[in-house]
Amino acid sequence: MKIHKEGRRILFVTLLVLLALNLLVFNLNKGADLVNRLFAGATVIVFLLILQFFRSPFRHLFTHEDLLLAPADGKVVVIENVFEPEYFEDERKQISIFMSPINVHVTRNPISGLVKYFKYHPGNYLVAWHPKSSTQNERTTVVVESDAGPLVLFRQIAGAMARRIVWYVNEGDEVSQGEEFGFIKFGSRVDVFVPIDTEIKVELGQKVKGGETVICQLKVK
């Protein structure tokens, strides 16, 4: 287990602020040992909660050109055929994974290939399960031409708590399955759009691990 680079500055600043608050409370409440201990305990809990947001556990990664791996830890909340308007402008199969505040927030490439399209969209911060969050929230869209051939679109979506999306890919990049392509601070959701004839390997409500759980298999012609 290690702390992700996106959290190091936040954790350092948080630690300084909490230490300063503890010193202030202790000075204002000299002799009130119970109050001071309760406040110190509360700040430790706050720091640990923020710390777990930025954990980055080791994953046993494997690669296979026609299998898609989960891009994030979380729960499968959508499996359905939808119209994808941004890039494909046709019907695709959508798989959505909801990342709660207690999940790992690293996002990983579900497939190896060439990045054909990338775009960042500023937006709102609706709750991640809101039907319009995919098109109205802050988000990034990545389209990869997989080594197997089919194009795969995946999208980071910020939620009500998440206010910062980080990405490490750009158009023209070669990406490897399972490697990090970004981070959503304090969680949210990742959508994956694949061809209609793709075979789904997960079920609604299933918990998945980013970079490890196979979510679907592409149809290779």
Say how far apart CA 22 and CA 209 lie, in whole Å: 37
| Sequence-separated contacts (24+) of 164-167 with Cβ below 8 Å | 165/120, 165/138, 165/139, 165/140, 166/6, 167/118, 167/120, 167/140, 167/142
Say how far apart CA 173 and CA 154 lie, in whole Å: 15
Say how far apart CA 216 and CA 199 lie, in whole Å: 5
Say how far apart CA 64 and CA 72 lie, in whole Å: 17
Mention every residue, 6+ apart, whose C-beta is less than 8 A from residue 74.
97, 98, 99, 100, 103, 189, 190, 207, 208
Say how far apart CA 184 and CA 190 lie, in whole Å: 9
Residue 24: strand, helix, or coil: helix
134 in active site: no
Say how far apart CA 136 and CA 123 lie, in whole Å: 6
Active site residues: 188
